[in-house]
Amino acid sequence: MELRDEVYREMALLRDRMPDVDGSVACSVDGILIASDLNGNAEQTGALSSAVLALSSRMTGIAGKGVLEETLISGSNGYAAFYAAGPKIVLTVLARPGTNLGLLRLEGRKTAASVAAITERMSANH
C-alpha cells in the first residue's frame, strides 16, 4: 500500500471518531501534498500548513516552550489544527464551530502519531 493510501485511511478513521471534522490534509514540511480528504483547496492548504508549522516551531523554540505539539487557529466558522506528524509531515485538521476542542486535540495528536509511524515504517522499508 502506498503512503498516500495509508495516510488517507487514518484521515477516514479520524472522521469516524470525530464527526465535526470537515477534512484533513497531510503534506511534507516543504508543502508537497501527500493526502487529503478536503473538497477543495488541498494544494493551497498544504502549502500554508507547512508555513504555519515552521512559524509555530520557531516561535515555540524562541519562547522556550519546548517541542511544538500543535497549533490551533480559531475562526468564526470553525478551527484549523496543525500537528507535526514526525519530522517530515504536517497534518492539518479542519473542524466545525462547536467542536469539542479537548477531543480534537486528543484525536488530532493520535492521528498525527499514526501518520508519523506509517511514514517511519515506510521509510525503513525503502
Does the structure show a pLDDT above 80 at 90?
yes
Residue 51 CB partners (closer than 8 Å, separation 6+): 31
Check residue 124 and give its pLDDT. 81
Q: CA–CA separation, 96 vs 75, rounded Å?
A: 10
| Cβ-contact 18, 44 below 8 angstroms | no
pLDDT-derived band at 123, boundaries 50, 70, 90: confident
Which residues lie below 8 Å from residue 85, measured CB to CB, with a gap of 6+? 26, 91, 111, 112, 113, 115, 116, 119
> Is pLDDT at 41 greater than 80 in this prediction?
yes
What are the CA-CA distances from residue 13 to residues 77, 80, 85, 105, 115 (Å)?
23, 18, 16, 15, 12
- Tens-place pLDDT, residues 57-86: 999 999 999 999 899 999 999 999 999 999
When comparing pLDDT for 106 and 39, which is higher? 106
Read off the pTM: 0.94
Beta-carbon count within 10 A of 2 CB: 10
